[in-house]
Amino acid sequence: MMRVAVIDSGGANIGSVIYALERLGIDAALTADASEIRQAERVILPGVGAAATAMARLQEHGLVEVIRSLQQPMLGICLGMQLLFDHSDEGDVACLGLLPGRVRKLQGGPGIRVPHMGWNALRKQQESPLLAGVAEGAYAYFVHSFAAPVTVDALATSEHGERFAAVVGRGRCFGAQFHPERSASVGARILRNFIGMELA
């Protein structure tokens, strides 16, 4: 059976990520143990809360360099995706630096509430095994106040007053700004794609 490590980043959504994987027949280990994370065949970095707090927790467990040096596929979810970038304006904190770019607060505006909470459409920017079988315009469930920029690493975007990266990917590193574990069949498909993908 494939070994999947879910990094214990202290986020409140971790239980639901584990449960979503269980529904797919995947027995994932929730861990902050560096050797267990290194030995896993897939790594998931979930997160809910503030970037500075999450980075401090990763530092505390000695996991920042561990995550940076991983060679197996990794998926960041929500805040976990934002932590993949160079920097977050949330707490003005340096992040993992696996993807170039700065995470900024959503601006909002008339009729545009922040935080962004609810279902929103995904617009594909490029083909990726992570998005195989996910229809253009498929809806996913978002809860966030900060967002990553649309760069060459954006696999799909969404819009809430402004365009932002909804799914990202570069090499072994992937991220979803929305919550796959709360996004019904679309989220289940993305998790299944991540577990089953083969990288060149």
Amino acid at 68: R
CATH code assigned at 76 = 3.40.50.880
179 classed as catalytic: yes
How confident is the model at residue 200, as a pLDDT? Answer: 58
- Minimal CA–CA distance to 156: which of 191, 189, 121, 180? 121
Among 78, 116, 144, 160, the active-site one is 78
Among 22, 95, 179, 198, the active-site one is 179
Among 95, 116, 144, 181, the active-site one is 181
* Region 95-113 average pLDDT: 95
How confident is the model at residue 143, as a pLDDT? Answer: 96
The pLDDT-based confidence of 9 (bands split at 50, 70, 90) is: confident
- Minimal CA–CA distance to 120: which of 89, 157, 77, 174? 157
Least confident of 5-9, 35-39, 87-91, 102-106: 5-9
Structural domain of residue 134, as residue ranges? 4-196
88 in Cβ contact with 95 (< 8 Å): yes
Number of domain units in the chain: 1
Q: How many residues does the chain have?
A: 200
* Region 4-33 average pLDDT: 88
- Peptide bond between residue 115 and the one before it cis (omega within 30 degrees of 0): yes
The yes-or-no verdict on residue 199 having pLDDT over 80 is no
How confident is the model at residue 13, as a pLDDT? Answer: 65
60 classed as catalytic: no
* Region 43-60 average pLDDT: 92
